Amino acid sequence: MILALDGKNIGAIEGNVFYKRVNSKKHKMRLLNAYGIDSEAFNNIISARCDTIKLTETDTKATYTVPVQTFEEKSVYKHFKPHRAQRFLELKYWSKL
C-alpha cells in the first residue's frame, strides 16, 4: 500500500513494515543526524499498522531499520514551515543493514 499525503508519496506499507526511500543529501537532518517521518502519518497510520520502519538511502544504498516503538519513544517533533510537521529520529537509534 502506497502511503501518500497531499498527493506526495511518503513511503509504502507492506505487511507490518513501513518502507521509506530518501536521498541523504536532501532528506537527512544534519543538525540531529536524523531522518524524519511526517508526524500525522506516523501518529495515525504507521504506529497503528506497522512494527518496523525500513529506510533506504537511494544515493548511498545504505539501509536502516528501527522498531516503531523505538521511533515513537525516541523521536523528536520538529516543524519547519512551509513543510508539514515531522518526527525525527537520530541515526544512532537505527540499525544499519
pLDDT tier, 29 (very low <50, low <70, confident <90, very high otherwise): confident
Taking Cα atoms as reference points, which of 20, 21, 27 lies closest to residue 46? 20
pTM above 0.85, yes or no: yes
High-pLDDT (> 70) share of the chain, %: 100
For all residues of the chain together, what is the average pLDDT?
A: 93
Which cell is 29 given? 537532518
pLDDT score at 27: 83
Q: How far is CA 66 from CA 17, 43, 77, 83, 90, in A?
A: 10, 16, 17, 24, 11
Q: What angle do CA 2, 80, 21 make, to 5 degrees?
A: 30
> For residue 29, how far is the Cα from the chain centroid?
12
pLDDT in tens, 50-88: 999 999 999 999 999 999 999 999 999 999 888 889 999
**Cell digits for 26?**
536532501
